[in-house]
Amino acid sequence: MLVLTACGVTPHPPLTADQINPLQDFDYIIGPGDEIEIFVWGNEELTTTVDVRPDGKITTRLVEDIVASGKTPTALARDIEEAYSEYVRSAVVSVIVEGFVSIPSQQIRVVGEAASPLKIPFSKHMTLLDLMIEVGGLTDYADGNRAILIRYFNGKQESYTLRLDDMLEDGDISANLALYPGDIVIIPESWF
């Protein structure tokens, strides 16, 4: 008698959107290449738009080399207020990110059997369906119900099985879920 056994990794069972750990709050983190508008209330001559340099710093009209990369817009605004306090009494600064380029941790990446695998900047309230529209859907060879979402949550990598075929072919909207910065979607090829 011949007994055959197979070793393999059993993927996590498919999950619905409410079963995946949602990130509680998302604050955009400024990165190199981002275009930011600095608005100084009551001092329009100091209002400017600048790009974050590759070294992560910006230069404003009064202060050179302020580190912007790795900060939220609010944190950067407070730093600029502090730097301007030497020149402007009670400066009130707002920072608005106008052009998002940023760092990979702020992007969503799709690899494998997407019609157009790519990376795109994260935008708040982005869903899996939005991402599938952006990449043009799946190839004819994709196994969408074996697709994997890789997400880093509280410093740990977690992976979830997605149900892309159910969502795209059958209209099962329960397979749609919110995406978060740094998410990676891997779409495997069908075995047959």
Mean pLDDT by 10 residues, the chain (192 residues): 40 54 64 90 93 90 88 94 92 88 75 92 87 94 93 77 94 90 91 74
Q: Are strands 35-40 and 48-51 parallel, antiparallel or unpaired?
A: antiparallel
CB 125 within 8 Å of CB 178? yes
Measured distance CA(139)–CA(20) in Å, rounded? 26
From the centroid of its chain, how far is CA 81?
A: 28
Helices marked H in 17-156: 73-84, 128-134
For residues 29 and 71, give the distance between their C-alpha atoms in angstroms, rounded to a whole number.
Answer: 5
CA torsion 50→55→59→64, rounded to 10°?
Answer: 170
Structure tokens at 87: 């020149």
pLDDT of residue 8: 40
Specify the pLDDT at position 170.
93
Closest CA to 138 of 153, 122, 117: 117
Q: Is 14 exposed, middle or buried, given 0-12, 13-18 or 19+ CB atoms closer than 10 A?
A: middle
Please identify which residue in the block is written with the tokens 């899996």. 128
- Break the chain into its structural domains and give their ranges: 35-99, 104-187
Dihedral-angle region of residue 173 (phi above 0 means left; psi in -120 to 50 means alpha; beta otherwise): alpha
Residue in this structure with the two tokens 């600095």, named with its chain if needed: 38
Q: Which class in CATH covers the domain with range 104-187?
A: alpha beta
Q: What is the CATH number of domain 35-99?
A: 3.30.1950.10
Look up residue 137 and give its two tokens.
């859907």
Distance between start and end Cα atoms, the chain: 29
